[in-house]
Structure 1
Amino acid sequence: MIREDELRDNLQKVRERIQTACVAAGRPEDAVTLVAITKTFPVSDVHALAALGVREVGENREQELRVKAPECPEVVWHFVGQLQSNKARSVVRHAQVVHSVDRSSLVSALSRAAVDEGRVLRCLLQVSLASFGSAEAATGRSRGGVAPADVPALAAEVAAADGLELGGLMAVAPLGSDPDQAFAGLESVASRLRSEHAGADWISAGMSGDLEAAIRHGATHVRLGRALLGTRPPLG
């Protein structure tokens, strides 16, 4: 099977999963946007996915984003990985959305870069869900993010920053957690955020193994790599 056929088949299965999950949750079938995570996959896969109608693509690493984005202007680029402040300018130059804003210093760096580049960057706050009954809370291991109690203050900083637009929240289900419990916690944080910032209505949650749980709890964007592109090649 050639690569384009493989991607087409995977995309059909993924779209069916998303649609089925939306219907089961009593949501419109088109309520959730797919973000294809192409970490370590070649630019040719991005072009192939775009030809199949995928218009939102995400990268975890700045090094890959800055190579792929100029070659694939036909898609909206999302940066979804942990971001060092010294890489903010490069990410602002190439991405339209950043999902992993988790501290004041990063807000400042992104704002300065966005103003200098003459762009408006949509920002999602990455929320740590370790407090929502997960193994991470007991072991001290964490997938990163701001504590739920600190979301309002950081959201206010983003909303007030030049060149930035507060878009909503992002989270990763903690290791060893019940994804329904974790994403229910995220849903409650998102509801409180919307009460103060009505336009911050994105919830980026759910990956290949737990997208159904995320959609049950209001995810508007799911970030899929393995289910869509297959086994990830090793990092170069």
Structure 2
Amino acid sequence: MTKTTRRDEIAAGLAEVEANIAAACRAAGRTREELTLVAVSKTYPASDVRLLAALGVTDVGENRDQEAAAKAAECADLGLTWHFVGQLQTNKARSVAGYADVVHSVDRSRLVTALGREAVRAGREITCLVQVALGDDPGRGGARPAEVAALADAVAEARGLRLGGVMAVAPPGEEPGGAFARLREMAQAVRENHPGADVISAGMSGDMAEAIANGATHLRVGTALLGRRKPFVR
């Protein structure tokens, strides 16, 4: 009996995720080309990132700077787009600005200032998404809905940054379709003042279909691709 390799496991996960995305796109009347799959590789080694890249994945997400910086350096030859998807402390802005192409979790003006300063220092332009708090849990981060417009303006005006759009996580215990519908409305409001801010980062392994139905452009998928989380060991 042939032993299943790690490549086989990841390829099977990717095939299933792609099948689910295709089905959700058909149901929503959308095309697969409208969506970017961000493979969230947190707690998994750089070797898994290399396998994902070999299978055609171009976008990788991380949520902890120490782990992300190490993996981005190890995989620098792959030409991947790196997404920082976790809560970000301002004192990590310099490190994150060195490798992240997209930061999904901009939720306060101090972070805008720090990221802009460090992006300019690094000679880079970083796409930033305003993270919206759709629930009441402060531990999940995100700007309150009333703060989103001003924060989007601040990102758009900052040197070194480009306003990409919005991001959110569906609150636990709430039907995700309703939460993502609210996010879609906020995204439309942001686009009224910033027409190029067309990214809606929403949907993870368990709620991709609801996100796609509500206009998501970026899906942050980890478990469905790589399996249950394990402790990260370099």
> TM tier, shorter chain?
over 0.9
**Aligned twin of 2:150:** 153
Pairing 1:30–2:22 present: no
**Aligned twin of 1:195:** 192
SS in 2 for 1:167: strand
Residues 69-108 of structure 1: per-residue CA shift (max 9 Å, x gap): 0111221100000000000010010111100000000000
Pairing 1:211–2:216 present: no
SS in 1 for 2:210: helix
Pairing 1:87–2:106 present: no
SS in 1 for 2:56: coil
RMSD over aligned Cα, in angstroms?
A: 1.0
Deviation at 1:142, TM superposition (A): 5.0
Code of the residue aligned with 1:101 in structure 2: it is V
SS in 2 for 1:149: helix
**Aligned twin of 1:134:** none
Please give the residue correspondences for 1:52-91 in structure 2 after superposition, counting only pairs within 5 Å: 52-73=55-76, 74=78, 75-91=80-96
Q: Label 1:141 to 1:109 Cα distance change in 2 as closer, same or farther (>3 A).
A: closer
Is 2:102–2:127's contact at 8 Å kept on the other side of the alignment? Answer: yes
SS in 2 for 1:11: helix
Is 1:142–1:174's contact at 8 Å kept on the other side of the alignment? Answer: no
Q: Label 1:142 to 1:84 Cα distance change in 2 as closer, same or farther (>3 A).
A: closer
Residues 154-213 of structure 1: per-residue CA shift (max 9 Å, x gap): 011000000000000010000111101100000000011111100100000000000100
Code of the residue aligned with 2:70 in structure 1: it is V
Pairing 1:3–2:3 present: no
Pairing 1:18–2:21 present: yes
- Rounded Cα–Cα distance in structure 2 between residues aligned with 1:185 and 1:68: 34
TM-score, normalising length from structure 1?
A: 0.94
- Rounded Cα–Cα distance in structure 2 between residues aligned with 1:29 and 1:228: 17
Is 1:19–1:30's contact at 8 Å kept on the other side of the alignment? Answer: no
Query: What runs of 5+ residues in structure 2 fail to find an aligned partner?
Result: none
Give the 4+ runs in structure 1 shifted more than 4 A. Answer: none
Is 1:37–1:57's contact at 8 Å kept on the other side of the alignment? Answer: yes
Code of the residue aligned with 1:228 in structure 2: it is L
Q: Which moved more, 1:25-34 or 1:181-190?
A: 25-34
**Aligned twin of 1:224:** 221
**Aligned twin of 1:120:** 125
Is 2:201–2:220's contact at 8 Å kept on the other side of the alignment? Answer: yes
Residues 34-78 of structure 1: per-residue CA shift (max 9 Å, x gap): 000000101000000000000000000001111000111221100
Is 1:22–1:31's contact at 8 Å kept on the other side of the alignment? Answer: no
**Which residue, 31, 42, 47 being the options, matches 2:45?**
42
Residues 112-145 of structure 1: per-residue CA shift (max 9 Å, x gap): 0001001000000100001xxxxxx4xx565220
Deviation at 1:29, TM superposition (A): 2.4
- Rounded Cα–Cα distance in structure 2 between residues aligned with 1:38 and 1:4: 14
SS in 1 for 2:88: coil
Is 2:45–2:232's contact at 8 Å kept on the other side of the alignment? Answer: no
